[in-house]
Amino acid sequence: MKRFLQFAIDFIRAGFTGGLMFWAWMLFLSFFIMLWGYGEFVQIRDGMIVTNLTDQVSWGLYLANFVFMVGVAAAAVTVVFPAYVYKHHELHKIVVLGEMLAIAAVIMCLLFVTAHMGRPDRIWHIIPVIGIYNWPNAMLTWDVLVLTGYLILNLVGGFYFLFKKYTDQPLNKSFYIPLIFIAIVWALSIHTVTAFLINTMPARPMWHHSIMPIKFITTAFAAGPSLIIIVFMLVRKFTPLKIADEAFHMLSQIVTWCLGIALFLVLSEIVTELYPSTEHTAGLKYLMFGHNGLNMLVPFFWTAIALMVGSFILLLIPRIRKNMTILPFLCVGVFVGIWIDKGMGLMLPGVIPTPIGEFAEYSPSMIEMMIILGVWAIGLFILTVLIKGAVGVLLGDVSYGGKSDAAAT
Amino acid sequence: MSKEDNKENGAQSVSRRDFLRKAGTYSAASLSGAAMLLSNPKPAQATTNVEWAEHFQKNYRLMTEEEKQEALDRLEKRYSEEFGKEVTVDGSPAMDGVLFGYALNIQKCIGCRRCAKACVAENNQSRGDEQQIEWIRVLRLEKGQFSADDRDNAGYPGDYGIQVGGNAYKPAGVVLEGQHYYEAEQVPEKDAFYMPMQCMQCEKPPCVKVCPVQTTYRDPDGIVVIDYNWCIGCRMCIGACPYWARRFNWGEPSLPAEEMNPVTHYLGNRPRMKGVAEKCTFCVQRTRKGRWTACVEVCPVGARKLGNLLDPESDVRKVLETKKVFRLRADLNTYPKFFYFMD
Ligand code: SF4
Ligand code: SF4
């Protein structure tokens, strides 16, 4: 127990040590976190009226970001899976960084959901035993269940690994390996359930198709590893931790193929909807071409498509994919493209038009922007601390009775 | 329509009532209620205490009879104080042997929207500039027409023929594609017919299925109700309802005391708080006492019928037997208990 406490202290201390750059970065994030605090305060005080959401468009960017982040969280699997199933040596060494990313992403998801709720003070109603749970009927309860489960799995898995490393003990394989495999399957479940959450509503025809879960998974496995590549590159640049090129090659291949499949699914969806072009296509048509001058989303849609297709073509070429200077830019392209596609491109046209055929445009209010940026800042803040701590442990700088003090000074 | 930013009107006069309401809200929302308790002036104390008790109450459906009574008494006390009049909060359960159904004659409806207004008055919906909530929506549908102009000008759908009724930019006669913001000088308008919509009290309500905390549920008399005190405001139900029947309290509802209807039901028209969903309940406060709903009462042409589907002598059953009846969106299998008919 004492050892564990010491571990926590050392870990956090390592997470918060750094040079000028580090503190500037943290300060920068703190600014947005303050905005988040203010935004949440106003929203809780005055109600959701401070957002630009309406009865027509009652789900907006909070949920869009939520859906996207669930994907990023699930994508930690793209590190864990090759490492354990294919025994990818280079990835194996840094698996724990993927788990840290998942933890930060799930926390962001929970914050987005809280921001989305009209009455966050009643969140306890959804906690089993003290509240009541509409289980197994409501998809949202499933989502809460799998997300919390995933958070716990990653916390336990990640920190167990780090703790053992910290105390320099061998891993208990019969505990750790099953845990990893459960987490792999679980990761798929979180994103599948998120897809079910919205595609099980025939009242919203644009979402009501069974391609949704697989499309969710593939886009997630393209966007997630893109972010992971960027994070790993930063780790490689700013810390002594060595991450071999092979690890990046592996990840960029995953991005490429998942992106390819995702694009194929996008195409299938578009053709299926547009060819017969029934009344049910209204949402997608609005997204692609606008509706009688209401065309706010149109540029976003085409930007997303351009980013995804462009990056895909470039990624297909091995020489470019393996070029460590170009790769991060492609990753940013993929990440942003999918964020738009899955956020605005999915959430908004799903609820526009309304079930009675009414078109209403929505653009987030200042408060919404503050909260969204703030949650991202919180996520990055947590991620930075976790990654720094984890890297410290991996490098052996942070170890029980070891050089931890030296690292802190 | 549901909300318009009109922040100039936000400069409220701080009457005592306003202050009380605010005090209650802050305490509930910010969890800093303890501080409010201390800093509030005396009269507000009771109200705040009530808010606190409400905050920790159970889901209405799971309460024992006693707990229900306590909750009702609590609310009566608070509302009476807040609105300065004797407010009753009823908790009558569903009657045995009753399954409510509704029938609406779209041939007769003249689009006057009196039902919608009567509903607002009866059911204490929020009004004012910031946020107006209406449960009934009267769609104005254009009468179908062939017009060479439309076809040529719109240029759609290309050279391949004509679209029956209107054109691509003017939907006509298409179910659920009317608009409900019409302001007619005189109703009925020549070139339109009307289709009112509200909560259909589905037999298989998707809104109930998706609600994560069982806030909304179907009572044995077929009315789908909401426990406002338990709603977490996630708006899953709004997404799932194929009839767009649910409304959300985006901000603190504004309900002038003099306009407030003091005869309320816990699951029906009692004043709502911000951040919760609401919708038509077939005036549960009236119908469970054997009265008509406000919309049935007010309709000038008698287009609206309410009745007990289990009673062969009821209006609705007669309509179902003798008229041409249809339901909206039958394909979705929600089995609405709201029927449209023609003579
Ligand atoms: S009409 Fe909508 S709100 Fe009413 S019961 Fe059906 S799904 Fe629920
Ligand atoms: S908004 Fe309220 S009633 Fe609707 S699904 Fe959420 S908790 Fe249930």
Task: Find the closest chain A residue to B195 by CA distance.
Answer: A356
Ligand 2, atom 2: nearest CA belongs to which residue?
Answer: B231
Q: How many CB atoms sit inside 10 A of residue B148's CB?
A: 8
What is the average pLDDT score of chain B? Answer: 81
Is the pLDDT at B166 greater than 90? The verdict is: no
Whether the CB-CB separation of A53 and A202 falls below 8 Å is answered with no
Of A118, A139, A200, the CB nearest to B233: A118
Is the pLDDT at B174 greater than 70? The verdict is: no
Residue B144 pLDDT level (bands cut at 50, 70, 90): low
What local confidence, expressed as pLDDT, does residue A90 receive? 85
Of the listed ranges A242-256, B141-155, B162-176, the one predicted with least confidence: B162-176
Is the pLDDT at B33 greater than 60? The verdict is: no
What one-letter code names the amino acid at B124?
Answer: N
For residue B185, give how far its alpha carbon lies from the nearest alpha carbon of chain A (Å).
Answer: 23
Ligand 1 lined by B279 (C-beta under 6 Å): yes
User: Cα–Cα distances in Å, from B125 out to A406, B21, B116, B247, B303?
Assistant: 65, 16, 11, 10, 23
What local confidence, expressed as pLDDT, does residue B10 receive? 35
Whether A122 sits inside 8 A of B231 (CB atoms) is yes
Is the pLDDT at B329 greater than 50? The verdict is: yes
What local confidence, expressed as pLDDT, does residue B31 receive? 39
Task: Find the closest chain B residue to A130 by CA distance.
Answer: B58
What one-letter code names the amino acid at A194?
Answer: T
What local confidence, expressed as pLDDT, does residue A406 receive? 43
For residue B249, give how far its alpha carbon lies from the nearest alpha carbon of chain A (Å).
Answer: 8
Q: In angstroms, rounded to a whole number, what is the distance separating the alpha carbons of residues B219 and B150?
A: 49
Of B215, B233, B244, the CB nearest to A354: B244
Residue B44 pLDDT level (bands cut at 50, 70, 90): low
Is the pLDDT at B47 greater than 80? The verdict is: no
pLDDT in tens, chain A (409 residues): 788 899 999 999 999 988 899 999 999 999 999 999 999 999 999 999 999 999 999 999 999 999 999 999 999 888 888 888 888 888 888 889 999 999 999 999 999 999 999 999 998 998 888 888 887 889 999 998 899 999 999 999 999 999 999 988 898 989 999 999 999 999 999 999 999 999 999 999 899 999 999 999 999 999 999 999 999 999 999 888 889 999 999 999 999 999 999 999 999 999 998 888 777 888 898 899 888 778 889 999 999 999 999 999 999 999 999 999 999 999 999 999 999 998 888 999 988 888 888 888 888 999 999 999 999 999 999 999 999 999 999 998 888 876 444 444 3
Angle between helix axes A212-238 and A61-74 (nearest 10 degrees) is: 70
Predicted model pTM: 0.87
What local confidence, expressed as pLDDT, does residue A193 receive? 94
Sign of torsion over alpha carbons A156, A161, A167, A170: positive
> In which residue are the tokens 């499933």 written?
A142
What local confidence, expressed as pLDDT, does residue A2 receive? 83
> In which residue are the tokens 């207004």 written?
B117
| Nearest atom of ligand 1 to the alpha carbon of A203 | 7
Q: In angstroms, rounded to a whole number, what is the distance separating the alpha carbons of residues B304 and A62?
A: 40
What local confidence, expressed as pLDDT, does residue A270 receive? 92
Q: Hey, is A155 helix, strand or coil?
A: helix
Whether the CB-CB separation of B14 and B35 falls below 8 Å is answered with no
Whether A202 sits inside 8 A of B332 (CB atoms) is yes
Contacts of B28 in chain A (CB under 8 A): 121
Q: How many CB atoms sit inside 10 A of residue A221's CB?
A: 26
Ligand 2, atom 5: nearest CA belongs to which residue?
Answer: B211
What local confidence, expressed as pLDDT, does residue B9 receive? 36
Contacts of B31 in chain A (CB under 8 A): 121
Whether the CB-CB separation of A64 and A342 falls below 8 Å is answered with yes
Is the pLDDT at B19 greater than 90? The verdict is: no
Q: In angstroms, rounded to a whole number, what is the distance separating the alpha carbons of residues B308 and A286?
A: 43
Whether B238 sits inside 8 A of A58 (CB atoms) is yes
Is the pLDDT at B94 greater than 60? The verdict is: yes
Mutation target to probe the B interface, by most B beta carbons within 10 A, among A40, A201, A362, A368 is A201
DSSP letter, residue B179? B
Q: In angstroms, rounded to a whole number, what is the distance separating the alpha carbons of residues A94 and A242?
A: 9
Q: In angstroms, rounded to a whole number, what is the distance separating the alpha carbons of residues A201 and A347?
A: 13
Of A121, A134, A356, the CB nearest to B176: A356
Helices (H), A75-172: 77-85, 89-116, 139-167
Q: In angstroms, rounded to a whole number, what is the distance separating the alpha carbons of residues A162 and A148?
A: 21
What local confidence, expressed as pLDDT, does residue A20 receive? 92
Whether the CB-CB separation of A25 and A308 falls below 8 Å is answered with no
For residue A294, give how far its alpha carbon lies from the nearest alpha carbon of chain B (Å).
Answer: 13
What token pair was written down for A4? 């564990």
What local confidence, expressed as pLDDT, does residue B30 receive? 39
Whether B239 sits inside 8 A of A58 (CB atoms) is yes
Q: Percentage of chain B surpassing pLDDT 90?
A: 63
Is the pLDDT at B18 greater than 70? The verdict is: no
Contacts of A122 in chain B (CB under 8 A): 230-233
Q: In angstroms, rounded to a whole number, what is the distance separating the alpha carbons of residues B66 and B174?
A: 51
What token pair was written down for B171? 């939907």
- List B273's β-bridge partners, or say none: none
What residues contact residue B281 under an 8 Å CB cut-off, 6+ apart? B123, B199, B223, B224, B225, B226, B265, B267, B268, B269
**Closest ligand to residue A125's CA:** 2
Is the pLDDT at B145 greater than 70? The verdict is: no
Ligand 1, atom 2: nearest CA belongs to which residue?
Answer: B241
Cα B277 to averaged position of ligand 2 atoms, centre (Å): 6
Of the listed ranges A166-175, B17-26, B87-96, B291-300, the one predicted with least confidence: B17-26
ipTM of the complex, rounded to two decimals: 0.88
What local confidence, expressed as pLDDT, does residue B190 receive? 85
